[in-house]
Copies of this chain bind each other. A is one copy, B any other.
Amino acid sequence: MNPPPAEIGAPISDIDTPALIVELDALDRNIAKMAAFSRQTGVRVRPHAKTHKSPAIALRQIAHGAVGQCVQKVGEAEALARGGVTDILVSNQVVGERKLRRLAALAHDATIALCFDSAEQIDAASRVAKDFGVTLGALVEIDVGAERCGVPPGKAAAALARRIADAPNLKFRGLQAYHGRAQHLPTHQQRAQAIASAVDAVRETLDALKAENLSCEIVAGAGTGTFTFEAESGVYNELQVGSYVFMDTDYAKIGNKDGGRYTAFEHSLFVLASVISTPTRERAIVDAGLKSYSGEKGNPWVHGLEDVEVTGISDEHGKLLLGPKAKPLKLGDKVWLIPGHCDPTVNLHDWYVGVRHGRVEALWPISARGAST
């Protein structure tokens, strides 16, 4: 782990760059807003830690009413459990004896659930859980349109649920019905339609479960782009929102109900960079590139500087174009960049530098950074 790029109490001007900054006021407002939504709608929130990878942020969400956390990887579950999170859903398939053993070991300390889309995996997890003397919660993942993992809705899903219910040391808890592809559909209407179709798939599956006399405690899904639709569906009861804590340009670009941009949550995550070269009046180069933010969703946005944009990114450099209205930049000037995609950006850093009112207030290790097994 690299040393933190700042000291608690220092002014922002003293933060070394590149650094991953969390604006704590904005983070807190985002968490509070989602918590209020959950209270108003009566739908539980189980935020996704694949975004933040940090027990510190997980515990903040839980303090605001979140029922636990989602993760994608066993390593993430381990990092959260070590950090005090006691209810964790692996919203993913866990394949391989070694990983199942690690998950079963965790189940002595925390409530653990995971997802299934094959009979073979149900049998394997049951064997391992029995061997460890623990019970693992089990959700059947159904494909509600994402075309990634998951069995078809309806009878195929109910058959897996029955197999879980009959398997030693597994407890059938519900359905994983996340529509990943819907999250970034460009218009409100397209997202609404995609989730309407997901809701139909869930209903069909709930009917099939009823025919099997299986009760379904959890119907889980939703992300930052669609959660209002799942919440008002009457069938989903647990929201797996992740990016809302930070936002990124990829979410900021999607359309809201009125055709404007999506502004329900604030940008709280930034990569702080420094100008290291000013070769021309129009060009400035900063010290943060692909090793400080991910690039597959396009260039980061420049925050708070008029008429300055990122026009090129390379491994360790960002190229800024200063338009006619831009103020000149000089060597050492700090530039705040809004990443294109928050999850893989966070995964590049060892530390969150939490700032409030111009000062460093917190240094949080990104404990599950690189925890990909």
Contact = CB atoms under 8 A, between A and B. Distances in A.
Interface of A: 1-2, 5, 16-19, 50, 72-73, 75, 92-96, 98-99, 117-118, 120-121, 143, 147-151, 180, 274-279, 283, 285, 287-288, 290-292, 294-296, 312-317, 319, 331-332, 341, 343-344, 347-350, 370-373
A159 to B, nearest CB: 15
A344 B315 contact: yes
Contacts of A296: 290, 294-296, 313
Given A75-B2, A294-B290, A296-B295, A276 B370 contact: no
A95 B274 contact: yes
Contacts of A147: 279, 283, 319
Contact of A117 (B95, B143, B277, B372): B277
A278 B118 contact: yes
Contact of A50 (B98, B316, B341): B316
A190 to B, nearest CB: 18
Kindly list the 8 A-B residue pairs having the minimum CB-CB distance in the complex, ordered from nearest.
A295-B296, A149-B277, A93-B276, A72-B316, A95-B276, A290-B344, A296-B296, A291-B347
Contacts of A350: 370
Given A95-B276, A149-B276, 19 more contacts: A2-B370, A2-B371, A16-B99, A16-B373, A18-B372, A18-B373, A72-B315, A72-B316, A93-B285, A96-B332, A117-B277, A120-B331, A148-B314, A149-B317, A180-B314, A290-B344, A291-B347, A295-B296, A348-B372
